[in-house]
Amino acid sequence: MPFNDYLQFYIGGGWVTPLATGTMDVIDPSTAQAFARISMGGPGDVDRAVAAARAAFTSFSMTTPRERQELLEGVLAAYEKRTEDLAQAISHEMGAPIGMARANQVGSGAAHLRTMIDTIKHYSFERLKGSTLIAKEPVGVVAMITPWNWPLNQIACKVAPALAAGCSMVLKPSEIAPISAMIFAEIMHEAGVPAGVFNMINGDGPTVGEALARHPDVDMVSITGSTRAGVLVAKAAADTVKRVHQELGGKSANIILDDADLKAAVQQGVHECFDNSGQSCNAPTRMLVPADRMDEAMEYARQAVKHLTVGPADQAEVDLGPVISKIQFDKIQTLIRTGLDEGAVLVAGGPGRPEGLSEGYFVRPTIFGRVMPGMTVAREEIFGPVLCIIGYSHEDRAVEIANDTPYGLAAYIQSGDLERARRLSRRLRVGNVHINYPDWDTGAPFGGFKQSGNGREYAEFGLDDFLEIKGVIGYGA
């Protein structure tokens, strides 16, 4: 991908020169070299973008659901025309293998747009309760802070419900994976989104993210990121009592029950954990297996990882690309060494880069066995291709281990008895439970319990969170 400058922001329906003067290189993690440059915004840029969104809200909030549905349909059509551009951007900015970037990364954004188009067709924005009208109205100006690991997934599952609700918005994508968001802004412009309804600025969290969270004319902040970032945004937003919608970290348990096909469950669990190079907040990173079958589970896991190929994201046959950055690479290496120091059994992988990959942020797919629940690698969100296999003595103990975490985003259950899995799902303190590795469902609510955040995304659950509820008493008298 040739080196390009992306030095403007999209504000008020057009591309403008930022008020702040700083710039930042965007690094391709497959090469550790810069391939693009962006401007870094400041508080003045935030003020300008929020003012544009506030001005646009008055009229856009009065549009009909049908008008907003047609707008979403136009966005989807424009998005689909830019599929390859988006895939190339994501592959270079965050290291997703190009096939995965096309099918999963870009495909996820399109899926959210389609789901929201279907949702708004059937959604009830008003109903009478006796003589009182119950109206669901747009929350207002929304600040959106999105992450680098699934850039378009998280942009689309915020922008789509915001548009459907009648909100205006300011998007701040991750500054280390911003190019797909720049293309997304071009898509919004081509689709004819009214001026000021969608605005996009680049910048870091402490400067632009915090200014958005504190801004008195922002009515809601929707953030996807680490729990640490979510806490900072919530604190910054508190003084203005705005809504804070968070999708944060996870350390998801994958409970393989004693009636499951152990080999199939373990080997698919390895692949599920290592998808996107382990850089998913809901990745099943803690595999719980019957303790008396630990040796079998470790051998099945070792066999599964032998067939995974790690390499540059532009190579079609690659299963795992690099992790996003040197900071992330160094963090993962430290945690792998900590796992060894604390006595976990190394099943596969380990410290360092895979053989033959001396440049770029490539991590050896690593599996630890005989992990104790209190070990660091079993407690911390590693956000890389590292799997912990933990033994349990009986089902109640598996539930205790699964729930013994500050996080509560997702959990996974593998069982040959569907009724047993259903009963177990009720005992897990998480926002999503996946039984026997189901297909991804954009109609399911997505979000977490505990320190994994609050609020929900996807379909009507996401739309609900971008709406206020108004009661008009006497409306039907």
Identify the CA nearest to 60 among candidates 71, 45, 49.
Answer: 71
| pLDDT at site 207 | 97
Q: Which residue pairs from 106-109 have beta carbons closer than 8 angstroms and sit at least 24 positions apart in sequence?
A: 106/152, 108/150, 108/152, 108/153, 108/156, 109/79, 109/152, 109/153, 109/155, 109/156, 109/184
Q: How many CA atoms lie within 13 A of 182 on its CB side?
A: 25
Q: What DSSP string runs through 13-55?
A: TEEE--SS-EEEEEEETTTTEEEEEEEE--HHHHHHHHHHHHH
Residues 6+ apart with CB under 8 A from 289: 256, 262, 266, 297, 389, 390, 391, 392
Across 432-445, average pLDDT: 98
Residues 6+ apart with CB under 8 A from 76: 110, 113, 114, 117
β-partners of residue 390 are 288
Across 322-341, average pLDDT: 98
Secondary structure class of 105 (helix, strand, coil): helix
Percent of the chain with pLDDT over 70: 100
| pLDDT at site 333 | 98
> Do the Cβ atoms of 333 and 351 come closer than 8 Å?
yes
- Tokens at 432, concatenated: 């999503």
pLDDT in tens, 160-188: 999 999 999 999 999 999 999 999 999 99
> Do the Cβ atoms of 410 and 433 come closer than 8 Å?
yes
pLDDT in tens, 224-269: 999 999 999 999 999 999 999 999 999 999 999 999 999 999 999 9
| pLDDT at site 1 | 62
How far from 47 is each of 20, 98, 156, 241, 462, CA to CA, in Å?
12, 37, 24, 19, 26
Active site residue 388: no
Identify the CA nearest to 167 among candidates 63, 48, 75.
Answer: 63
Q: How many residues does the chain have?
A: 477
> Do the Cβ atoms of 114 and 218 come closer than 8 Å?
no
Identify the CA nearest to 104 among candidates 90, 115, 114.
Answer: 90
Catalytic residue among 93, 210, 247, 272: 247
> Do the Cβ atoms of 171 and 159 come closer than 8 Å?
yes
| pLDDT at site 477 | 81
Active site residue 273: no
How far apart, in whole angstroms, are the C-alpha atoms of residue 161 and residue 457? 9
How far from 174 is each of 67, 120, 222, 299, 366, CA to CA, in Å?
30, 28, 13, 38, 27
Q: Which residue pairs from 271-274 have beta carbons closer than 8 angstroms and sit at least 24 positions apart in sequence?
A: 271/304, 271/308, 272/412, 272/437, 273/385, 273/387, 274/305, 274/308, 274/319, 274/320, 274/365, 274/385, 274/387
| pLDDT at site 316 | 84
pLDDT in tens, 7-30: 999 999 999 999 999 999 999 999
Orientation angle between helical segments 179-190 and 65-81, nearest 10 degrees? 130
> Do the Cβ atoms of 435 and 425 come closer than 8 Å?
yes
Secondary structure class of 410 (helix, strand, coil): strand
- Tokens at 158, concatenated: 């915020």
Across 361-387, average pLDDT: 98
Catalytic residue among 281, 381, 388, 460: 281
How far apart, in whole angstroms, are the C-alpha atoms of residue 87 and residue 100? 9
| pLDDT at site 264 | 98
How far apart, in whole angstroms, are the C-alpha atoms of residue 370 and residue 345? 6
What average pLDDT does the chain have?
97
Give the largest CA-CA distance in the chain.
77
How far apart, in whole angstroms, are the C-alpha atoms of residue 51 and residue 56? 9
Domains of the chain plus CATH, in order, are: 4-248+452-472 (3.40.605.10), 253-442 (3.40.309.10)
The one-letter amino acid code at 55 reads A
The one-letter amino acid code at 297 reads A
**CB count in 10 Å sphere of residue 210:** 20
Across 109-128, average pLDDT: 98
How far apart, in whole angstroms, are the C-alpha atoms of residue 291 and residue 436? 20
| pLDDT at site 243 | 97
Across 270-298, average pLDDT: 98
Identify the CA nearest to 377 among candidates 154, 124, 386.
Answer: 386
Secondary structure class of 235 (helix, strand, coil): helix
